[in-house]
Amino acid sequence: MQYISIKSGSSAKISISPKINDILATSQQLAGVTIYVFFVHQYTNKVYKQPYALSANNLVINLTPKDTIEMLGNAEENQRFEIQFAIKNASGEIIAESESSNIVINIIRWEAGQWLHRELTK
């Protein structure tokens, strides 16, 4: 399991590096493939918003300060999300993630980040 901590009110860039048989996949191998990335609330097991749909041309998720503030919500403490993956191959078949791909995103309360976001969006 891999843990990533992000301060609420800051931005984050998450890059996905798909592997096939433990070797990084090439753009040709990923042609026509869609990787769905789900942020699942760790304690409620509910999917947060809509999954991100990534392709060979775009394997990056960009979280804005607004996103990280929304992800924290009204939580008194950190809000954790387990990232789950599903892959739709070029033939349209859905493939489940491998067991070793578990990642937990920890959104940490950061009052300064919330203040900065409010000031920048006035």
- The string of pLDDT tens digits covering residues 50-77 is 999 999 999 999 999 999 999 998 888 8
Contact 97, 41 (CB under 8 A): no
Q: What is the pTM of this model?
A: 0.88
How many angstroms separate the Cα of 63 from the Cα of each of 9, 36, 60, 71?
Answer: 10, 16, 10, 10
Per the rule left: phi > 0, alpha: psi between -120 and 50, beta: everything else, 68 is: alpha
- Residue predicted with more confidence, 53 or 102: 53
What is the percentage of the chain residues whose pLDDT exceeds 90?
70
